[in-house]
Structure 1
Amino acid sequence: MQALIGTGVALVTPFKEDFSIDTEALKGIVNFSVDGGIEYLVILGTTAENATLSIEEREIVIQTVIEANKGRLPLVLGVGGNDTRKIVEELNTRDFSPFVAILSVSPFYNKPTQEGIYQHFKAVAQASPVPVIIYNVPGRTASNMLPSTVFRLANDCKNIVGIKEAAGDMAQSLQLLKNKPDNFLVISGDDMIALPMVLAGGSGVISVIGQGFPKQFSEMIRLGLNRKVDDAFKLHYLLMDCIDMIFEQGNPAGIKQVFQSLGIADNFVRLPLVTVDESLQNRIAAFVKNIDK
């Protein structure tokens, strides 16, 4: 899965003032990411506010990104949830020819055991016609997919090619990197520790901030992959304050404010999310104004 080495970005869904999808802004974000050096695009992840999109709106997002991308970058589709049967049904009925892989989050709210997580992803892998990246994000799912479960899945399901690891636990990430099977991808799902994970043997990142600062962030990851540590950390420290800022009042409210400051898209989010407050708007705007684009 060489296509998934480097920086992928979890695309936002921009909205107009009436909260309808702003397809022109979405096209602009795709082009901004492509032109900035991003390696692949992830559609309908958490950052896309997927939970508030109707089935019809999800299709609009998918087709808009496919059309804007024009085959330039590999595409990954988010296909996850907490009803295994529904996910399997989608995997059996959707045309996956535009995608190199799917990203599938560990079941949320149900709080399955490790065996439940294993059986869920085994069913997903058996149904998926394309490779699967499993996604561990305990802060959103209320359950942590342990390394032992990840290794079980990696060894038993050849269609599971990697994990997006977003537990925010460097010790757990190191366990994954130390003991993973050969060619299994460990992808950071946390922008702040993406570079340390790459330097420890990770394959890259699926990033939020990367779509707002694609040039700097993707170059940082490439430098890390090439072991140019000092140059990579210069870019990490350049972006570090803004990484904190974009998550300070929730995702994707922060990154949407970056796009507002860049003049690429408005900062509207759907309830129950709300836009960042005026203080954070001003701090993000000042950061954007001062960074070398």
Structure 2
Amino acid sequence: MTGFHSKEERMEFRGAITALVTPFRSGEVDEEAFRALIEWQIEQGIHGLVPCGTTGESATLSHEEHKRVIRICVDQVKGRVPVLAGAGSNNTREAIELTQDAKDAKADGALLITPYYNKPTQAGLVAHFKAIADRVDLPFIVYNVPGRTAVNLLPETLAILKKEIRQVIGVKEATGDLTQVSRVLEFCGEDFQVLSGDDFTALPTMAIGGCGVISVVSNFVPQKMSAMCEAVFAGDLKTAKALHYDMSPLYRAAFIETNPVPAKTALALMGRFPFETRLPMVPLLPDNKAKLEAVLQKAGLI
């Protein structure tokens, strides 16, 4: 499944893809809990997995931990679903290193965030992704999340990336702006894999031509998110809408405070593993935890 050499061999990332949390125990990566979470995700019908994304607290993982988490994921998955490894950085040299390591780990592709904090121009974004592509032959999904990076990767720029960099096969579009999503699809064509980066825009994105979602909520409701995507692919919009509105309270609860704190809290309340994050992430405020717990109870999850 790894690597690609022609259009016929292009990796497809579609459907419900979970942006996995990274379980910790006493300050260290909890490998046993992580493997159990991955196994449960696959049993529940998830279509793909993302280790070491924002939801996986990649910003607080050391390089060695980052590489280890990806290897654990690939090893546990054993080719059953695609693994899209988080490998981006605002330092192009570091992004090249992490992307090469994702390839060495036999991930099926790399999720590459636009450089954050240093605010490159659109030309700088193109140069960044070209530099990675020049060094690593692995499919890339570009991650556009201006709310975290302070830079919006424009649809016109994505069209340039698609035309000039064969490794760029899609985008995780997390602007929450369906006008922008529509323009990406218009400019980049049907063969470009447009994934929603927000749970609440998953169904609308797929309705206008997107191919799935990289989801936070599917950490704790993988079966429902997968079922919604499958309903869209089957042309059953009635079922897809019902599932979308059924999950909408969970969408809101999952972002009651900064991701991934609510998701990790939900998994802890469900008994998957104890709650633990790394600073600067801290536990939910008591009122917000109570609100999340009430939503989970109503959904029958606890």
- Call closer, same or farther: CA 1:147–1:283 in 2, change over 3 Å: same
* Structure 2 counterpart of 1:14: 23
- The CA deviation at 1:230 is 1.2
2:14 to 5, 15, 19: 5
Q: Provide the secondary structure at the position in 2 that maps to 1:248.
A: coil
Match of 1:48 in 2: 56
**1-structure distance, mates of 2:283, 2:99:** 34
Residue 118 of structure 1 corresponds to which residue in structure 2?
126
* Displacement after TM superposition at 1:2 (Å): 5.7
Retained in 1: the 8 A contact 2:21–2:56? yes
**Which of residues 193, 212, 216 in structure 2 aligns to 1:208?**
216
2:6 alignment counterpart: none
Deviation, structure 1 residue 45: 0.6
- Other-structure match for 1:100: 108
1:264 maps to 2:272: yes
Identity of aligned residues (%): 36
Which residue in the other structure is 2:236 paired with?
Answer: 228
C-alpha displacement at 1:70, in angstroms? 2.8
The equivalent of 1:168 in structure 2 is 176
Unaligned stretches of 5+ residues in structure 2: 1-9
Is the CA contact (8 Å cut-off) linking 1:3 and 1:40 kept in structure 2?
no
What is the alpha-carbon distance in structure 2 between the residues aligned to residue 25 and residue 192 of structure 1?
27
> Which residues of 2 match residues 172-251 of structure 1 at below 5 A?
172-251=180-259
The answer as to whether partners of 1:96 and 1:130 remain within 8 angstroms in 2 is no
1:53 Cα shift? 0.9
Q: Between Structure 1 and Structure 2, how many residues are aligned?
A: 292
Amino acid at match of 2:61: L
Contact preservation (8 Å) 1:96, 1:129? no
Contact 1:154–1:181 (8 Å) recurs in 2: no
Tell me, yes or no, if the aligned pair for 1:199 and 1:227 is still in contact at 8 Å: no
Report the TM-score, using the length of structure 1 for normalisation: 0.94
TM-score normalised to the size of structure 2?
0.92
Contact 2:74/2:105 (CA < 8 Å) preserved in 1? no
Please give the residue correspondences for 1:27-106 in structure 2 after superposition, counting only pairs within 5 Å.
27-92=35-100, 95-96=103-104, 98-106=106-114
Return the letter of the residue paired with 1:146.
L
CA distance in 2, matches of 1:11, 1:216: 16
Contact 1:261–1:284 under 8 Å retained in 2: no
- Partner secondary structure for residue 247 of structure 1: coil
Q: Comparing 207-216 with 121-130, which one deviates more in the overlay?
A: 121-130
Aligned CA distance change for structure 1 residues 77 and 21 (closer, same or farther; 3 Å): same
Change (3 A) 1:126 1:181: farther
Mapped to 2, the partners of 1:124 and 1:152 lie a distance apart of 15
Per-residue CA shift, 1:109-139, capped at 9, x if unaligned? 0001111011111112222221111110000
Alignment correspondent of 1:285: 293
Give the Cα–Cα distance (whole angstroms) in 2 for the partners of residues 3 and 146 of structure 1: 23
RMSD, aligned α-carbons: 1.6
Distance across 2 between alignment mates of 1:266 and 1:97: 28
> For the Cα contact (< 8 Å) 2:11–2:108, is it kept in 1?
no
- Name the structure 2 match of 1:148: 156
CA distance in 1, matches of 2:136, 2:103: 11
For the residues of structure 2 that align with 1:239 and 1:122, how far apart are their CA atoms?
Answer: 38
Q: Give the AA of the match of 1:46.
A: T
SS in structure 1 at match of 2:80: coil
What amino acid maps onto 1:247 in structure 2? F
